[in-house]
Amino acid sequence: DVKVTQSSRYLVKRTGEKVFLECVQDMDHENMFWYRQDPGLGLRLIYFSYDVKMKEKGDIPEGYSVSREKKERFSLILESASTNQTSMYLCASRRDGVGYGYTFGSGTRLTVV
Amino acid sequence: GESVGLHLPTLSVQEGDNSIINCAYSNSASDYFIWYKQESGKGPQFIIDIRSNMDKRQGQRVTVLLNKTVKHLSLQIAATQPGDSAVYFCAEVPSGTYKYIFGTGTRLKVLA
């Protein structure tokens, strides 16, 4: 069964900490994405990567950075966590080209205290 | 996640009835549309998709209808089951982009 695996289901971090969220896919997909999901706001794109070492800002990149050193791994970094970054974070991947949908991970619920 | 559905419109249907979930999309240049299902505590799962050159596509117990004139997408679930209880949301993909535009979702509640 093909998978997108997020390393943690739940995380609690303190304000100001540097936080790493890891995502690994085993489908050899070119494109990978990080979203956050908040009640009433839906899914909002933070960053995406269309190839190894390539990254592009999404709609809400402020306070975040990403790393894609290998095709299968896409990391989201919160440089200095703040309480307004408390959210559900979803990683997704897709094959390049038209007509391919996302495969999502199970999500990481991050609480910043 | 668990809190995704708290502020969403809710559709309640009796088990065995048909469900219709609607979505208005925003970009007339979108040429690919997808419906996702998200159960509590899980990531979204692909249900069905449709290209803009089609009006209707059927899957197992699900049908997606696309009306490009009014930029409207609907998901029909036949003989709704308790396992269908979840948040459903649509996504549109503008032509030539990687970025999906997601709707905020509808919570489907199946009554026994």
pLDDT at B24 over 60: yes
CB-CB neighbors (< 8 A) of B102 in chain A: 42-43
User: Of B11-20, B75-84, B96-105, which range is least confident?
Assistant: B96-105
The closest of B14, B61, B70 to B37, measured between CA atoms, is B61
Residue B73 β-bridge partners: B23, B66
The closest of B46, B97, B41, B42 to B75, measured between CA atoms, is B46
| Helices marked H in chain B | none
- Which tens digit of pLDDT belongs to each residue from A19-75? 999 999 999 999 999 999 988 788 999 999 999 989 999 999 999 999 999 999 999
CA distance B79 to chain A (A): 26
- Which tens digit of pLDDT belongs to each residue from A68-106? 999 999 999 999 999 999 999 999 999 887 778 899 999
Token pair belonging to A11: 């995380």
The answer to whether the CB of A40 falls within 8 A of the CB of A54 is no
Task: Tell me the HSE value of A92 on the side-chain side, using a 13 A CA sphere.
Answer: 29
pLDDT at B1 over 60: no
CB nearest to B42's CB, from A31, A39, A106: A106
Question: How does DSSP classify residue B42?
Answer: S
- Which tens digit of pLDDT belongs to each residue from B54-76? 999 999 999 999 999 999 999 99
CA separation (Å) from B36 to A8, A17, B33?
Answer: 22, 33, 10
pLDDT at A1: 64
Give the confidence band of B6 by pLDDT, cuts at 50, 70, 90: low
Give the confidence band of B97 by pLDDT, cuts at 50, 70, 90: confident
CB-CB neighbors (< 8 A) of A48 in chain B: 98-99
The residue with greater pLDDT, B50 or B112, is B50
Q: Which positions in chain B have a beta carbon within 8 angstroms of at least one beta carbon in chain A?
A: 1, 3-4, 6-8, 31-32, 34, 36, 41-46, 49, 51, 89, 91, 98-100, 102-105
- Taking CA–CA distances from B102, the nearest residue in chain A reads A43
User: Cα separation of A48 and A27, whole Å?
Assistant: 17
Test A102 with B100 for CB contact under 8 angstroms. Answer: yes
